[in-house]
Amino acid sequence: MSKPYYIEEDLKKFGQISEFQPELGKKFFDWYNAVFEEGALTQREKALIALAVAHAIQCPYCIDAYTRSSLEKGADEEQMMEAIHVASAIRGGASLVHGVQMMNKTKDLTL
């Protein structure tokens, strides 16, 4: 069987990216950890945003990590699915809104 591109266990090795560039790695993780601390938004709200973005960018690692995180921070299935619908609506809407461009061009080109 061929080796898959995405290996679940690799998520645990995320911290190892500092191995090749420690200074930037540290800066990234310090910032990353600060971002997810409770602030004007709760940790649950931040986890749900991350979950939605994870689906928008279709990152399997992030989907695993932020499904767990959303549940851990107290979100339920309904909230999680609504978050994904928000991401999907923006993705879908972003394609569809370009329809205006298509319509403009069409009007330019046609009688």
Partner 1 sequence: MATLYRKEHELASGARQIEVLEASDHEPFTRKLANLGMLPLKPTGIDILQVNVGKMCNQTCRHCHVDAGPDRKEIMSRATMQACLDAVQKGNIRVVDITGGAPEMNPEFRWFVEQLAALGVHVMVRSNLTIILANKKYHDLPQFFARHGVEVISSLPHYSRLRTDAQRGEGVFEKSIKALQMLNEAGYGREDSGLHLNLVYNPSGALLPPAQASLQRDFKERLLRQHGVVFNNLFVITNMPISRFLDYLLKSGNYEKYMEELIANFNPLAVESVMCRNLLSVGWDGRLYDCDFNQMLDLPAAGVSHIADFDAAQLMARSIKLGQHCYGCTAGSGSSCGGEIV
Least Å distance, CB 38 to partner 1, is: 6
Residue 23 or residue 77: which is nearer to partner 1 going by CB? Answer: 77
Least Å distance, CB 5 to partner 1, is: 23
Residue 30 or residue 72: which is nearer to partner 1 going by CB? Answer: 72
Residue 47 or residue 54: which is nearer to partner 1 going by CB? Answer: 47
> How far is Cα 91 from Cα 84, in angstroms, rounded to an integer?
10
Phi-psi region of 74 (alpha: psi -120 to 50; beta: other; left: phi over 0): left
CB distance 63 to 6 below 8 Å: no
Least Å distance, CB 109 to partner 1, is: 52
Residues lying near partner 1 in the complex (CB under 8 A) are found at 38, 42-44, 68, 71-74, 76-78
Q: Identify which of 21, 28, 10 has the alpha carbon closest to the alpha carbon of residue 65.
A: 10
Residue 54 or residue 80: which is nearer to partner 1 going by CB? Answer: 80
Other CB atoms within a 10 A radius of the CB of residue 56 amount to 16
Least Å distance, CB 29 to partner 1, is: 16
CA 110 to chain centre: 40
